[in-house]
Amino acid sequence: MENNSDMFHQKFIDLKETRLSLHTGGSGAPLLMIHGYPQTHAAWGKVAPNFAKHFQCVIPDLRGYGESSVPASGAGHQGYSKRTMARELVELMAALGHDKFSVLGHDRGARVAYRMALDFPNVVTRLGIVDVVPTADVWSSMDAELAKNIYHWTFLAQPDPLPEKMIAADPVAYLEWTLKSWSKHGTLDCFTDNALESYRTQMLNEKRIHALCEDYRAGATIDRETDEADKKAGRKIKAPMFVVWGDDGLTPTYPTMVEVWKNWAMDVNGCAIDCGHFVMEENPKAFTETFLPFLLKT
């Protein structure tokens, strides 16, 4: 983590299917922080030191991302389903000695986080969700405006190797266009040099490009189906939940994410923050001031 080498330390943990890279730092109750697309653990660099003053922070690279290993996709994209990723991170936390913990998740990491809260209700104590609504709701509400804003959902879900080859033709340009277009001010200014280096390195690796596409293929198929099954069965997240979103984020057709999430959680509150999609990097002060009181509440 940039400028915090004395506070955060990288390690690798070998699990059943994957070798995960993670950074840990701080002391106190455990807090799992899960990044999204097209990012890595470095997305938390600006805010992690603030949370490490109160929590033992565990900040992994998801399977296929960053410096974690790239497992096979398996049948039906199971290898990159949010259920698989959530189970794996529960195993990671158990390996570190944590059987209960709070979770913060952004973007794809938020999808792993809410799946974890649904599948492991006795493990997740408090849940923070950043700039997403449930996968099934996104697909069911897809209209022209939303499709234009989140075109990557359908692009990345196309069969292998179409998106892989298109991205690999100029991966850094694709990455930087994505980062700029999803941020409120349309520049790279909010991203640290360390973070940009991490994101660029990832996107230059063709195996990781494939893994990131598999993440979205799972989102279009098995993740959506899993959500729909939970919704039909009336299952709800039991952990107290707080959701934040950028007032210029990726889902402008939703007037408030809180109302959407009330259909999925028993106890949910939230608010908008002045930023685009990359909340932690665009407005780290507001992010910290919003989530710290929620996570510290007993």
Q: What is the 3-state secondary structure (H, E, C) of the chain?
A: CCCCCCCEEEEEEECCCCEEEEEEECCCEEEEEECCCCCCHHHHCCCHHHHHCCEEEEEECCCCCCCCCCCCCCHHHHHHCHHHHHHHHHHHHHHCCCCCEEEEEECHHHHHHHHHHHHCCCCEEEEEEECCCCHHHHHHCCCHHHHHHCCHHHHHCCCCCHHHHHHHCCHHHHHHHHHHHHCCCCCCCCCCHHHHHHHHHHHCCHHHHHHHHHHHHHHHCHHHHHHHHHHHHCCCECCCEEEEEECCCCCCCCCCHHHHHCCCECCEEEEEECCCCCHHHHCHHHHHHHHHHHHHCC
Beta strand 29-34 pairing with 55-60:
parallel
Question: Per the residue annotation, which of 23, 35, 41, 277 is the catalytic one?
Answer: 277
The yes-or-no answer on residue 193 being catalytic is no
Overall residue count recorded for the chain in this entry: 298
Active site residue 107: yes
> Are 107 and 84 within 8 A, CB to CB?
no
What is the spatial distance between Cα 122 and Cα 120, in angstroms, rounded to a whole number? 6
Catalytic residue among 61, 106, 107, 137: 107
Which residues belong to the active site?
A: 107, 277
